[in-house]
Structure 1
Amino acid sequence: MSTTVKDLLDPAHLTQIANMQLLARTAVEGFLSGMHRSVFHGFGTEFLQYRNYTPGEDLKYIDWKVLARSDKLYTKVYQEETNMNVTILLDCSGSLDYAGERAPCTKFRYAAMIAACISYLAGRQGDNVGLFTYSDELLEAVEPGHRSGQLSRVMHSLARLKPHGAAAHQRTLDNLTHPFKHRGIVVLISDMLESEHELPRLLRNFRYRHCDVIALQVLDPDELDLPQPKVTRFQDIEAGKEVVAWPSSVREQYARRMDEFLATLKTGFSQSQVDYLRLQTTDSLGLALAQYLHHRTL
């Protein structure tokens, strides 16, 4: 049986690839080939060289051949116009070190795979890629750049990381906000647990710096429906606290609290003009790549 684009973006397939750069290349090239066939069929050129025409722009940049084939106006975007800073902020706190029985990998492994794929896709487009990872302190800092070996530096940083500690969102993001002086894209990847009021406020600061911001929330399916059938010991990995309970007796209340948490996050990000996408560790990585690509081609 041949490998499909869906297979290449399946976290169950990707988590078997140890080399982060190979993993990212496998997923991204599969994603782009699928996009080329389904969305940009007939353009005859890499679709990343085009964007929608805006009334008032110089007509000399319109691709008239594309107009004739598709009856749509697209403007050619040249390399010097496309370069921008893409900065990935990756939460490495202990709460991400969880994988339920339905998940092919931990939340952290899934988050790291997303970071690798976005880094590869950004580098492929000629953008400056940067990575900052943190838990209770800043762990890895790769300043945005496009020099030789930049992508390898990002991938090696991702490969070294082990989730631990508590997420010091405020201290880390406050310190990182100040250097942002130019337009770019900031991508936060986190489970966002117990941060529904904090993170929208903190990411709003990047919007004040004229950055587009994408917040990708990674959750395990277990965290959404509490499927355990018998008495279970629940442990707070970051605080070390434990609770023993019958899931069936608390499931309804848990579901209500989880819905409130997710609704608060969604509302907060909307008010802060931050794009928000919730992902489960069983979801295709194509969802995260499509969200990034949407911003990249605006």
Structure 2
Amino acid sequence: MQTIHKYLDPVALSRIGGMELVARLVVEGFVTGLHKSPYQGFSVEFAEHRQYMPGDEIRYIDWKVYGKSDRFYVKKFEEETNLRAYILLDTSASMNYKHNDNNLTKFEYGCYLAATLTYLMLKQRDSVGLALFDTDITQYIPPRGAATHLRAIMNALENATPGEETELSSLFHELAKRIVRRGLVIVISDLLDEPSQVISALKHLRHQKHEVIVLHLLDHAEMTFPYKGSVIFRDMETGQTLSTQADSLKSAYLEKLNEFIQSYRRGCGASQIDYVQMDTTTPFDHALSAYLSRRK
């Protein structure tokens, strides 16, 4: 398998390509747990044009386009599927962190996850969209199910770069207002914000009848605090620095980190939000396939 897209890894696709991401809750009237066939009883919606070829049905010729171009084009339609997915990817400055130069940054890891999930859902004939955000929503691509949509999302990921600081709660509230049609919302972020406020915003998405999955990305160093001796820490979003003895901070840091993670785990669990913590030193396809296997 070959791919020309930066964040589509052929090895990962061979590992995950046969798996499914199905919704668990009721989305737009469909009872989940099974992926319904896109060919039986589904309505269709216009997807794109392509040039007329011998054998195409004449009724699908777009005569308005013919009048403008003097060429025959037919309308292509796509089946309206039972799953509409929205991938929300955090591109704030903190996502650019990696402890080891041989590892992926949290941002790169998130891009690989977003690309693979997009490929997987389009392969299932589902619709998928993408939102990138830091201080604002920097790009929003509405869900589509057309095969050509893969390129649009891949281009957005490949052209994205980590930006500024973010306030997750306000961004999620804004996205909850923008995403009107119910579906599956997948959040990919390091969640470096006040957990209670972020959980409140995620509940807003649940209140809108979306199913929500949170993929919480942390570098292994953020989880283990391997630093020793005199260290200068720099906040990647504000630029502020702190000079300290790492040994004296480790115990308190790990305690605070555990509280931070448990706040998200409990808050998400109480709101039927699927919370998944991912160590970015674990190959992303291993982490994703393990999650999809558990989710069945």
TM tier relative to shorter chain = 0.7 to 0.9
Cα 1:152–1:256 shift into 2, 3 Å: same
Cα 1:145–1:107 shift into 2, 3 Å: same
Residue number in structure 2 paired with 1:106: 105
Q: Please tell me whether residue 121 in structure 1 is matched to residue 101 in structure 2.
A: no
Which residue identity is paired with 1:31? I
Which residues of 2 match residues 48-63 of structure 1 at below 5 A? none
Residue number in structure 2 paired with 1:154: 153
Q: Please tell me whether residue 258 in structure 1 is matched to residue 217 in structure 2.
A: no
Give the drift of 1:79: 1.7
Give the TM-score normalised by structure 2. 0.75
C-alpha separation in 2, matches of 1:20 and 1:264: 35
Give the drift of 1:29: 2.6
Q: Please tell me whether residue 287 in structure 1 is matched to residue 287 in structure 2.
A: yes
Task: Tell me the secondary structure at the aligned position of residue 132 of structure 2.
Answer: strand
Rg larger for: 2
Unpaired runs of at least 5, structure 2:
25-32, 43-80
Contact 1:233 1:244 in 2 (8 A): yes
Task: Tell me the secondary structure at the aligned position of residue 125 of structure 2.
Answer: coil
Residue number in structure 2 paired with 1:42: none
C-alpha deviations, 1:123-153, integer Å up to 9, x for none?
A: 1101111000000111111111123421111
Q: Please tell me whether residue 19 in structure 1 is matched to residue 18 in structure 2.
A: no
Which residue identity is paired with 1:77? K
Residue number in structure 1 paired with 2:135: 136
C-alpha separation in 1, matches of 2:34 and 2:106: 39
Residue number in structure 1 paired with 2:13: 28
Between the two proteins, the alignment pairs up a number of residues equal to 246
Contact 2:23 2:83 in 1 (8 A): no
Contact 1:134 1:168 in 2 (8 A): no
Cα 1:75–1:228 shift into 2, 3 Å: closer
Unpaired runs of at least 5, structure 1:
1-7, 9-16, 36-47, 53-73
Give the drift of 1:31: 2.1
Task: Tell me the secondary structure at the aligned position of residue 20 of structure 1.
Answer: coil
Task: Tell me the secondary structure at the aligned position of residue 187 of structure 1.
Answer: strand
Identity of aligned residues (%): 26
C-alpha separation in 2, matches of 1:259 and 1:288: 23
Instruction: Compute the RMSD of aligned alpha carbons.
Output: 2.9
Give the TM-score normalised by structure 1. 0.74
C-alpha separation in 1, matches of 2:23 and 2:171: 34
C-alpha separation in 1, matches of 2:178 and 2:160: 24
C-alpha separation in 2, matches of 1:198 and 1:49: 28
Contact 2:91 2:161 in 1 (8 A): yes
